[in-house]
Amino acid sequence: MEALDHKIRVDVETSYLDEQSDPGEGRYVFSYTITIRNEGQVPARLLRRHWLITDANGKVEEVRGDGVVGEQPYLKPGQGFRYSSGAVIETPVGTMQGSYQMLGDDGAHFDAPIEVFRLAMPGIVQ
């Protein structure tokens, strides 16, 4: 099996939701939009997600579940899927990282890693 058979690219954009946040209560709300693209040669379905959400205090929340936003997108080579979701943390800065568990049409289970990305309130430097 070639490594290029299974290649899922994950791109992330984030934004701070000021109107939903309450810094006085330690509530910082962020949205993130993720684009998943199958750059491999084998069609694959996203079965599960796994996230590690870490705030600036070192508090880690682990999230696991089926699919994303209620769907288990099926991606043929060259196809993409885009969705938006959100995260709430107790500090103005944090990070997220994780993986998507995929199943290729060839029967192979593989992980699509999601590199660490930053959640940050505008104007915060750390």
* Per-residue pLDDT reduced to its tens digit, 6-65: 999 999 999 999 999 999 999 999 999 999 999 999 999 999 999 999 999 999 999 999
What are the pLDDT digits (tens) for 80-108?
Answer: 999 999 999 999 999 999 999 999 999 99
Instruction: Give me the domain span that covers residue 7.
Output: 3-120
- Taking a C-beta distance cutoff of 8 angstroms, is the pair 81, 102 a contact? no
| Total domains, the chain | 1
In-domain check, residue 125 = no
Beta-bridge partner residues of 33:
13, 84
CA distances from 95 to 3, 20, 27, 58 (A): 28, 19, 15, 10
Is residue 125 over pLDDT 80?
no
Residue 91 resides in a domain: yes
Asked, for residue 116, whether it belongs to a domain, the answer is yes
CATH number at residue 44: 2.60.40.1470
- Residue 3 to residue 118: CA distance in whole angstroms: 28
Q: In the block, which residue shows the tokens 């684009």?
A: 35
Q: Do the domain assignments include residue 87? A: yes
Is 126 contained in some domain?
no
Under the banding of pLDDT at 50, 70 and 90, the label for residue 1 is very low
**Residue 2 pLDDT > 80, yes or no?**
no
Q: Is the dihedral of CA 1, 34, 75, 102 positive or negative?
A: positive
Give CA–CA dist 10/50, Å, rounded: 14
CA-nearest of 16, 109, 93, 105 to 59 is 93
